[in-house]
Structure formats: structure tokens, C-alpha cells
Amino acid sequence: MLQSRYKWIYPEKREISPELFAVTGSSILAHLLLNRGIKTANEAEFFLYPEKYSLSSPFVFPDMEKAVERINRAINNQEVILIYGDFDADGVTSTVLLYKTLIYLNANVIY
């Protein structure tokens, strides 16, 4: 068997509360959550089951109604909509998501 030239260093195992174990059902998953800074059963529940929690309305952002009206007008008039996104993980992901949504809405869109 090959011997590794590296020594793996694992974080110390922390005590898992019964409540956290009840949410995760697994000591491995509970330790992974603890390593992410998720310590309570409520935090774990929110992280693991986001579909249980409702999202806030996008209309809480200032001028969202104006933005929606402008996008609808551009779609109705077949104006070109240009999406500008950066090349990191969330930039590419958000560009694709917006592009696919606008295509679905029959927009004339480029990126």
C-alpha cells in the first residue's frame, strides 16, 4: 500500500445536541453543519429544508414595479435585451437563469 506524504488534519469532533441529530438524522451530516457554523436545530432546519420557508416578495426592492414594466415593454416591442454578467460562479449562473427566463417569455435577448 502506498504511504501518503501528507498528514491529514481533521477538526476536533464536537458534541452534537440531540435536537441537531434529530433534524439531520446523521452524525456525519451534523458534523458537516457544525463545521459550517450551523449549530442549532432551527439553523439546520432552515439550511436543509429551504422549501418550508417562504421567500420575501421581490417587490420589496425599490423601483421593482418600474423594472418589471420596462422589461414587459421591451418584450412586447421585441426590443433587444442585453444581459451583462461576470464570469464567476454566481455571475454565470445568474446570467443563464435570467437568459432562460427571458427566452421563455419570448424576449429578444442576448448576453
The continuous run of DSSP H or E covering 81 comes out as strand 80-82
Cell 454565470 maps to which residue? 92
78 in a structural domain: yes
User: What is the domain range of residue 43?
Assistant: 18-52
Q: Tell me what pLDDT residue 23 has.
A: 94
Q: Does the pLDDT value for residue 4 go beyond 90?
A: no
Higher pLDDT, 52 or 81: 81
Flag whether 1 is in a domain. no
Say whether pLDDT at 12 is over 80.
no
10-14, 44-48, 91-95, 105-109: least confident range: 10-14
Query: Based on the domain organization, do 100 and 83 belong to the same domain?
Result: yes
Mark whether 39 and 78 lie in a shared domain.
no
What are the φ and ψ backbone dihedral angles of 57, each rounded to 5 degrees?
A: -70, 140
Q: What is the pLDDT of residue 39?
A: 92
| Run of H or E residues at 30 | helix 27-35
Residue 110 has pLDDT above 90, yes or no: yes
Asked if residue 13 belongs to a domain, the reply is no
44 occurs within a structural domain: yes
Note whether 73 and 66 are within 8 A (CB). Answer: no
Number of domains in the chain: 2
pLDDT digits (tens, 9 = 90+) for 31-80: 999 989 999 999 999 999 988 887 789 999 999 999 999 999 999 999 99
